[in-house]
Structure 1
Amino acid sequence: MGGAVSFAQITPEGLRLRIRLTPSGRRDGFDGVMLDADDNGVLKASVTKAPEDGKANQALIKMLAKEWKVAKSLLDVIQGQTNRNKVVLIRGDADALNKQIGDWAHSQDFA
């Protein structure tokens, strides 16, 4: 199973992911996929860290790396550093990453 991920875009440098982050949440985790104003899929995530000094972004990167079993050094918040709506880049083989995250999303019933 798996396949294209609604919240991801394949790019030459890797995979771009649209994420809506809720900082200062009750738990670190994922809350499904929603559509944004442009009907693009967005992965909803929450972290317990507060949005100060980049702590929430760091917690998001750590959570994504652990969940998807990729090195933290391959992940970067490239848009939305101070906004809830973020774009995260995972550097690497975009097709392989898309399949891996697609399989994960299907296993979570997010796809």
Structure 2
Amino acid sequence: MKKGELSHLAQEGARIAVRVTPKVSRNEVTLHDGQIRVMTTAIPEDGKANKAVQKLLASALGIAKSRLELRQGAFSRNQALRTVGRSVADIWD
């Protein structure tokens, strides 16, 4: 998915549900039947896969990874993240 392609979902306080698949051959974010799927090469050990998911999803949303907060599912394939803070674009509007 291109950088910022999911930017319409990056509203402050938005809850974003994702399906995570760790340990795959490539990093990818897809939208399939209305569900966001994040595939990462990172292994699900010591939070490595969670950090990779945060980075990949932030890129797809077009926001900084520090604006995404894992709210649910740290040890699950089904996760919920929340956007926090405001982007520079929001401040200038």
Q: TM over 0.5: same fold?
A: yes
TM-score, L = length of structure 1: 0.62
CA RMSD across the alignment: 2.3
Residue pair 2:29, 2:60 contacting (<8 A) in 1 also: no
> 1:10-89, aligned counterparts within 5 Å?
14-34=13-33, 41-89=34-82
SS class of match (2:14) = strand
Identity across matched positions, percent = 37
Q: Structure 1 unaligned segments of length 5 or more: list them.
A: 35-40, 94-111
TM-score, L = length of structure 2: 0.72
Give the deviation of 1:45 after TM superposition. 1.3
Higher strand fraction: Structure 1 or Structure 2? 1
Match of 1:91 in 2: 84
Q: Structure 2 unaligned segments of length 5 or more: list them.
A: 1-7, 87-93
